[in-house]
């Protein structure tokens, strides 16, 4: 697929979806797989020899707001891909709405946002939902 062989609007949407996947979905999947396969303490070097790498695997440190934002990104991205699979015209109609929702959730992955959120909780003594 390229901008030469495809309508430029469609190619831009393709690039946007790919960028979201690479920058935001792929790290979540990588961390999930690391945890799910028990590689958070020792990473397997080879199934064949059952050898282990020396050292620990570092997982990203994430705060509550960042995890919540990433969950929202995953959910919305899933809806975007589901819409694409079901109906091209609906995908193109709803693309901007999904993109805005994803961009809004991306704002929640900032450490600064978390510190403001934490300060607000400390002042109000509200339990996070």
Query: What's the number of domains the chain is made of?
Result: 1
Look at residue 88 in the predicted model and tell me its pLDDT.
86
Q: Is 94 part of a structural domain of the chain?
A: yes
What pLDDT score does 8 carry?
80
| Digit-coded pLDDT (tens) for 67-112 | 788 888 889 999 999 998 999 899 889 999 999 998 888 877 766 6
Domain assignment present for residue 13? The answer is: yes
CA–centroid distance for 20 within its chain: 7
Asked if residue 129 is part of any domain, the answer here is no
Does residue 3 fall inside a structural domain? Answer: no
2 within a domain of the structure (yes/no): no
In a domain, 117, yes or no: yes
Measure the CA–CA gap between 67 and 12, rounded to whole angstroms.
28
Pair 102, 17: CB distance under 8 Å = no
Per-residue pLDDT, 79: 92
pTM: 0.62
Q: Answer whether residue 27 is part of any domain.
A: yes
Q: CA torsion 31→60→35→27, rounded to 10°?
A: 0
Task: For residue 1, tell me if it sits in a domain.
Answer: no
Find the helix or strand (DSSP H, E) in which 44 lies: strand 44-46
Question: Domain range holding 14?
Answer: 8-124
């Amino acid at each position: 697929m390229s901008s030469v062989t495809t309508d430029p609007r469609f190619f831009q949407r393709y690039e946007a979806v790919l960028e979201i996947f690479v920058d935001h979905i792929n790290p979540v999947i990588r961390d999930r797989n690391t945890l799910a396969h028990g590689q958070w303490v020792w990473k397997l070097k080879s199934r064949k020899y059952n050898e282990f790498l020396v050292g620990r695997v570092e997982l990203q440190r994430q705060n509550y707001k960042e995890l919540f934002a990433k969950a929202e990104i995953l959910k919305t991205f899933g809806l975007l891909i589901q819409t694409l699979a079901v109906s091209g015209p609906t995908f193109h109609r709803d693309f901007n709405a999904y993109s805005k929702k994803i961009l809004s959730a991306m704002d929640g992955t900032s450490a600064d946002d978390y510190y403001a959120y934490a300060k607000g909780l400390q002042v109000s003594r509200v339990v996070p939902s």
